Structure 1
Amino acid sequence: MTLSANVRGYALILAVTVVTSVALAAVHVPSPVLFGGLVGGIVHALTSPVPLTLPPRVFRLSQAMVGVIIGAGISLSSLSAMGNDAVAIIAVTLGTVLISLGAGRILALRPDVTPVTGAFALIAGGASGVVAIARELGADDRVVTVVQYLRVLIVLITMPVVTALVFHPDHGIGSLDTSNPSDLGQSLAYVVLTLALGLLIARLVPITTSILLGPIVVGAILVSTDWFDAVSVPAVLQWLAYAFIGIQVGLRFTRASLASIARMLPVVTLIILGMIVATAAMGSLLAVLTPVDGLTAYLATTPGGLFAVLATAADSGSDVTYVMAVQLVRLLVILCLTPLLARVLSRRAA
Structure 2
Amino acid sequence: MSLMSGAGVQAIRWSALLFVSAIFVYVLESAHLPAALLLGPMLAAILFAGFEKQVAVPPTVGLMAQGVIGCMIATTIPLSILGELARDWPLFLAGVVSVVVAACSLGLVLAKLQVLPGTTAIWGSFPGAASAMTIMADSFGADMRLVAFMQYLRVVCVSVVASTIARIWVGHSGTPLPAMVWFPPVDWLALAATILLIVMSFFVTRWFKIAAGIFLLPMILGIVLQNTGVMKIELPPWLLAASYALVGWTIGLRFTRPILAHAARALPRVLGAILALMAICGVFAVALVYFAGIDPLTAYLATSPGGADSVAIISASSNVDIPFVMAMQLARFLVILVAGPAIARLVVKWSGLRDATRVPLP
Runs of at least 4 residues of structure 1 off by over 6 A?
170-180
CA shift in 2, pair 1:342/1:204, >3 Å: farther
Q: Which amino acid aligns with 1:37?
A: P
Say which of 203, 214, 217 aligns to 1:214: 217
Say which of 21, 29, 54 aligns to 2:33: 29
Q: With the length of structure 1 as denominator, give the TM-score of the two structures.
A: 0.85
Contact in 2 for aligned 1:199/1:211 (Cα 8 Å):
yes
Other-structure match for 2:312? 310
Q: Which amino acid aligns with 1:108?
A: A
Percent identical: 30
Secondary structure at the residue paired with 1:108? helix
Provide the aligned length of Structure 1 versus Structure 2.
345
Other-structure match for 1:155? 158
Contact in 1 for aligned 2:25/2:36 (Cα 8 Å):
yes
Secondary structure at the residue paired with 1:24? helix
Judge which range, 231-240 or 271-280, deviates more: 231-240
* Cα deviation digits, residues 121-143 of structure 1 (max 9, x gap): 12112101112232222222222
Correspondence 1:66 to 2:36:
no
Say which of 10, 13, 16 aligns to 1:12: 16
Contact in 2 for aligned 1:63/1:133 (Cα 8 Å):
no
Alpha-carbon separation, structure 2, partners of 1:12 and 1:212:
29
Alpha-carbon separation, structure 2, partners of 1:135 and 1:172:
36
CA shift in 2, pair 1:319/1:285, >3 Å: same
CA shift in 2, pair 1:10/1:94, >3 Å: same
Q: With the length of structure 2 as denominator, give the TM-score of the two structures.
A: 0.82
Other-structure match for 1:126? 129
Contact in 1 for aligned 2:129/2:333 (Cα 8 Å):
yes
Other-structure match for 2:341? 339
Contact in 2 for aligned 1:79/1:329 (Cα 8 Å):
no
Correspondence 1:255 to 2:283:
no
Q: Which amino acid aligns with 2:265?
A: R
Q: Which amino acid aligns with 2:336?
A: I
Contact in 2 for aligned 1:306/1:327 (Cα 8 Å):
yes
Cα offset, 1:184, TM superposition: 1.6
Contact in 1 for aligned 2:167/2:173 (Cα 8 Å):
no
Contact in 2 for aligned 1:198/1:218 (Cα 8 Å):
no
Other-structure match for 2:148? 145
Alpha-carbon separation, structure 2, partners of 1:205 and 1:286:
44
Other-structure match for 1:283? 285
* CA RMSD in angstroms, aligned pairs only: 3.2
Say which of 87, 92, 110 aligns to 2:90: 87
Cα offset, 1:62, TM superposition: 1.7
CA shift in 2, pair 1:58/1:100, >3 Å: same
